[in-house]
Copies of this chain bind each other. A is one copy, B any other.
């Protein structure tokens, strides 16, 4: 055969004009049924393929969403949350005929460079961003350059709830930690410790507030006493275990611990040989298989919220940047998954 068949070849075989072939492909309702069938038979017999790139060029739409794939973290327990979000997003986007294009970036500036390349080339109609942080230059660039985007994560520090140009979906971690703390207050005792990340992370500080609110409301302890019950650690199992040992040495006996991640919760369990009730965050496969309690974020709900903000209620097509929906964010309530505590594992 050699070259791919063209619209002209189809037109010749069907005995119609090229415009008629184009109509059959793009506006079939304009073409009489007999003609339509003849053209479709010609398309079929020649093996002609209407070219997605040509369609994109005409419509200036790619039906594709770009998302940066974060590097795998060393530890990987809570990092898998973004993989689960990616799965939910890809599955739901697929149902709307939208695709997900992945890229990587060495940092925010590099990610902005990728935004530029991918939107200049019309490779993507919109971006989804994860791991937002205070003063994030990526969202500033996207707003300044009029690109469509939604973040999974609040624009920490900016006017979160009202910024009309920043569409976001997030999970209400504060309410999650409040529920976790209330659960331990009602089942374990009043001295519920908090194992969190170093302050300065929007997400971590928000979750800590939930612990503090529940403790002020239900523990009967003073703010000074509460300050002695918290400790911070980077997000790994070993460092979490070390932090809990420090906390126990300084604060004396605890009745339970709430943690900002399952990695830290697993550290707390190893430091206390599972004798202390511990609640983690993210309800990872690790929490489920070891059987400890954790706060679950519904990533299906997050993905649905992101797509609804991107495409509107009818779905299937990304809104142009100027077309802002009435409600510009979704704050999703997480759910505490209570488990009995891990079975005995280990040989020490």
Report the minimal beta-carbon distance from A87 to chain B, rounded to whole angstroms: 5
**Per-position binary interface string of chain A over residues 99-137, scored 1 when its CB falls under 8 Å from any chain B CB and 0 otherwise:** 111111000000000000000111100000000000000
Q: Are B104 and A94 in contact (CB under 8 A)?
A: yes
- The residue in chain B whose Cβ has the minimal distance to the Cβ of A121 is B52
> Which of A26-34, A269-277, A316-324 lies at the interface with chain B?
A269-277
Per the bound structure, the CA–CA distance linking A105 and B180 in Å amounts to 37
Categorize the interface residue count of chain A. Answer: 35 or more
Report the minimal beta-carbon distance from A93 to chain B, rounded to whole angstroms: 9
| Residues 53-85 (chain A) with a chain B CB within 8 angstroms | 53-57, 60, 62, 64, 69, 71-72, 75-77, 79-80, 83-84
Per the bound structure, the CA–CA distance linking A122 and B120 in Å amounts to 19
Report the minimal beta-carbon distance from A221 to chain B, rounded to whole angstroms: 25
Q: Within 8 Å of chain B (Cβ to Cβ): is A252?
A: no
A62, A123, A286, A289 — which one has the most chain B CB atoms within 10 A of its CB? A289
Q: How many copies of the chain does the oligomer comprise?
A: 2
Per the bound structure, the CA–CA distance linking A91 and B106 in Å amounts to 10
Q: Are A75 and B285 in contact (CB under 8 A)?
A: yes
Q: Which residues of B contact A54 (CB under 8 A)?
A: 53, 57
Q: Within 8 Å of chain B (Cβ to Cβ): is A200?
A: no
Q: Are B53 and A57 in contact (CB under 8 A)?
A: yes
> Which of A154-162, A243-251, A338-346 lies at the interface with chain B?
A338-346
22 pairs from A and B in contact (CB 8 Å cutoff)? A49-B121, A50-B121, A52-B121, A53-B54, A53-B57, A54-B57, A57-B57, A69-B86, A69-B91, A71-B87, A71-B91, A72-B84, A76-B284, A99-B102, A99-B123, A101-B102, A269-B346, A270-B343, A273-B347, A274-B345, A344-B344, A345-B345
Nearest 5 pairs between A and B by C-beta?
A52-B121, A76-B285, A344-B346, A53-B56, A274-B346
Q: Which residues of chain A have a CB within 8 Å of any CB of chain B?
A: 4, 49-57, 60, 62, 64, 69, 71-72, 75-77, 79-80, 83-84, 86-87, 90-91, 94, 99-104, 120-123, 237, 263, 266, 269-270, 273-275, 284-286, 288-290, 341-348
